[in-house]
Structures are given as structure tokens and as C-alpha cells.
Structure 1
């Protein structure tokens, strides 16, 4: 188990390098002439309001926290009584279990399902001028191996009650939906074309409900996977 720490450190380093490098290349790809295209202009100005950007941004933050935790553990490996500070450990566990894991699979599932069905519903083709296929896969595909690596090399005890984690996860999605609504009120646009098409119809609340379902389903999926890999499903703790 102790050997896992080196695999995690490697994973955190790769995650940070991959995402930070990709952010640099995505920013560099946007030229002044692209602002003549209203779609590209909106994409550039509103990048921080895309759920995908929230997700890989949180993966970077989590990787930094993971490095802090694991290096602290290594520095104190000769102290058998050493434990990470309770609040740091709790924040790390909550951020991954409640936010990052379910958000990652929400992004992956929704994006690729819509992209393969009709890409104009999620990513207009004009955005290809500033978003290369490599960058696209980094932010929509490579995010999955990042979280799978964490589950593989960080055994966790499943909480006896999932209410607190689920509350954080649902609240995270609720806040994002508020951001989308605020953007519509402020700019008069939905940043995702599918929402533009669905707004004012029964499909709009259905889309929100499907997003919530995917998030909750993904949340529980991590514990099943954790128990399969590490066999800890019978050893639960009170959350």
C-alpha cells in the first residue's frame, strides 16, 4: 500500500503538466481575427463558464493537494503516529469523491454522446479553429484516466452514509446551473447549443434531470469500482 504513494505522485505530476500545458496551447490558439466570429468570441470570453473547464481546473487543484498530502506523508514516514491534518484529509476526500469523480464522468458521457450524435449540439465546428483534436481529447477524454488512476492507487473506505458527499455533488451541479442561467440573463445566450434548442420546451428540465442522474450514478460507481479493486466494501466508516 505504501508503494502506491509513488504512483500517485507520478499521476499528480502528469495531470498538472498535461492540463497546464493544454491551457497554454488553447490560449495561444486564439488569435485576434477569431473575434470576428461571434461563436468563437463567445467561446473565448466565456471559457471559465464551461463545465469542462471547471472539471479540469479542479483536477489541477486536486493534484496539487494530492502532492502536498503525499509529500507530507513521505517526510513523516518514520513517525508511525503521523496522520494528515483532519481538515486537509477531509477536504481531499470530499473534493474527489463528491465533485471530481462524478463531474469527470458527467463531462465525458454528455460531451461524447452529443458529439457523436450531432456535434453541433455541444461543440459547433467553427470552434475547431481554436480547439485542436489533441486539446479536445485532453479536456474531454484524458480526464477519465486521471480519476481512474486515483482510484487504482488510492484505496478508500466507503462511507456508511453517502448523504454528505451527495449533498456536495448536487450542490456543485446546482451552482453550475445557476451560472448557466446567469449567463443567459446577462448575455442572452445559452453557452451550449443543445440548451438553446431545448429552452422553453419539456426537454430543458429533462436535460437537467439527466445530468443529475449521471452525476449521482457516477458517484456510486466509484465505490463499486473501489471495492472491486481493493476489496473494502465491507469495511465502512461513519461519514
Structure 2
């Protein structure tokens, strides 16, 4: 449900702009033709081993695409809205609640916390010669306000808590297995901080990171419920 004061068209426009921004940011970070990147990431797994890239190219881009589809059908093909919404909206809401919000909030918080402490642990100085500063911000800064804009303009229905947490756990296990495989196959850690920690230190770091994402899941759930419950009371 879009924000009544702005209307469905305003929410649809914002979703479309967010989708265009996500596609543009992904194309630049992926090193596509005419990308502003000075050289591609040719190491094992490329950008696909970084949570920041997966968050934007897989999660946020898919979310905004689903939002655009739902909005377009609702505005231009109302006779099909019920049928399409029954398929698209539950998937859209699950992706937002279980993946986009907790991971999208974790990425900038974790990145900038490590960056301030010691940037070499997460974004070595040499990367400044590869990516312009603004391109770094597309992956680690702008995703945060876009996340809260989405929370504000669209009433996402959260799944049953156990199902939502299970979805987040599944993603975490798959991603952890992937970066472990990358290290096993190439000796490369997706993030330098993992390379300077002992095995016990890595286990603790990964466990704390996952715990933070679970906490962020509850933050998104509570913010959504309180914000939209308050608006619904005002409309009655």
C-alpha cells in the first residue's frame, strides 16, 4: 500500500527512479562498457564475492524491479492487478523484509565502522585508483537512504517471524559457503579483515555480523509495524 498523501503515482515514480539508480550503480561497479571503473576486478569471483555488490545487484535491483512491475500493473492494467499482485507482492515483501532491509542496513554500518577504524581492513587505499569516490558511495552510502525511503512509501507485509529469520539464515549460510570456497580455491578473502584474524577470531567476527543482521531484521519489522499502524489509525 503506497502512502496515501503522496499517492500511488508518486510511489511508482520513486520506485522507478530507485530501479534506474540501482541498474546504473550495478553497471558501473560491474565494469561494463563505458564504466567509470579504471580496471575490472579480475580476482577469483570478481565483485560477486562482495556482500555490497550482491546486496545491490541481486537484492535491491530485484526488489525495485518487482515494485515497478506491481506499480505498473496497478496503474495501467487494473483488471490484472489482483492476479499479478498475488504473485509479485508476497515475493516483493519477503525480499524486502528478510534480505534487503537487514542486509542493506548491515552493509553501510559494518563498512563505515571498519573504514573509520582502519580502512585497510575493508577498502584498501589502492582501491581509490580503481573506483571513484562517488562510486564507492553508491554501494556503501546511498543504499541507506533508499532503504528508508522504501520503508516509508510502501507497506511491506512481514512474513511469520520464523520464516523471515530462516530466509535470512539461508542467505547467510549460502554467502558464507561461497566466500569460504573462494578462499579455498584461490587463497583470497573477500574482505581483508578476515585475513588478519585467527580462525577463532573469524568465527567470532562472522557470528557477531550475523547477530547484527538478525537484530536489524527486528528493527525493520518493528519500524514497519509502528509506522504503518500509526498511519492507518490516522486514516480511520
TM-score (norm 2): 0.85
1:39-54 superposed matches below 5 A: 41-42=42-43, 46-54=46-54
Matches for 1:180-219 after TM superposition, within 5 Å: 180-200=179-199, 202-219=200-217
CA contact (8 A) 1:190 1:196 kept: yes
Name the structure 1 match of 2:26: 23
User: 2:117 maps to which residue?
Assistant: 117
Please name the residue that 1:65 is paired with: 66
SS in 1 for 2:82: coil
Deviation at 1:154, TM superposition (A): 0.9
- Change in Cα spacing, 1:148 to 1:4, as seen in structure 2 (3 Å) is farther
1:128 aligns with 2:128: yes
Shift of the 98–158 alpha-carbon distance from structure 1 to 2, 3 Å rule, reads closer
Match of 2:95 in 1: 95
Which residue in 2 is equivalent to 1:174? Answer: 173
Q: Which range is displaced more, 135-144 or 84-93?
A: 84-93
Gaps of 5+ in 1: none
Q: Which moved more, 1:167-176 or 1:67-76?
A: 67-76
Query: Contact 1:227–1:233 at 8 Å: present in 2 too?
Result: no
Indicate if the aligned counterparts of 2:63 and 2:95 stay in contact, CA closer than 8 A: yes
What SS is found at the alignment partner of 1:189?
coil
The corresponding residue for 2:15 is 12
User: How far off is 1:145 after superposition?
Assistant: 1.3
**Aligned pairs, how many?**
225
| CA spacing shift, 1:81–1:66, aligned 2, 3 Å | closer
